[in-house]
Amino acid sequence: MPQFTLHRNFVLRTTKGHIISFKKGVPTNVPPVCVEAAVAIGAQAVDAGDGDVLGEEVEPQPSMSPEERKAKVFEAFGIMKTRNERNDFTASGVPDARRLQPLIGFELTSKERDAYWQEFREQEQEAKDQQELDAKVAASAEAG
């Protein structure tokens, strides 16, 4: 466990549930999950040979393109329609955002959800209309 010193007496309370009591100039053990918080209050690593106490910085994952995002949402809509569970949809017939989020893996605002849902329904209707038209053309070709 890394040790840190602080230039004053201080009690560090983290959001991770740790409470670390620093005494001025006395090396104090700091759990690895709290190192960033200790550095933020000015604590110095006791044996920081290379000067990198926080470790390697993790690169953030690239965000999805709008097309990927839309495809993921449409896929989730399809899953929800197929399984047709009562709690998947609100009283007004749109997918419930709380049930949608686990399927898509990111948060979606109600406004975005509504716009995607309308587009999804329009595409479904167009596909249904095209299927009916194709059936009529095939029927008239057989009759003629």
Which amino acid is it at 56? E
b/e per residue, 57-93, with b = 16+ CB within 10 A?
eeeeeeeeeeeebbebbbebbeebeeeeeeebbeeee
47-68 pLDDT, tens per residue?
755 555 555 656 556 677 889 9
The pTM for the full model equals 0.53
What is residue 142's three-state secondary structure? helix
DSSP-H helix ranges across 26-65: 35-40
Label residue 23 by pLDDT band (50, 70, 90).
very high
Q: Which residue in this structure is represented by tokens 């007004």?
A: 92
DSSP-H helix ranges across the chain: 35-40, 66-83, 97-104, 110-143
78-119 pLDDT, tens per residue?
999 998 888 888 888 899 888 898 999 888 888 999 999 999
Q: What integer pLDDT is reported at residue 41 of this predicted model?
A: 92
User: Residue 38: which of 67, 5, 70 has the closest Cα?
Assistant: 5
Locate 83 and state its tokens: 């399984």
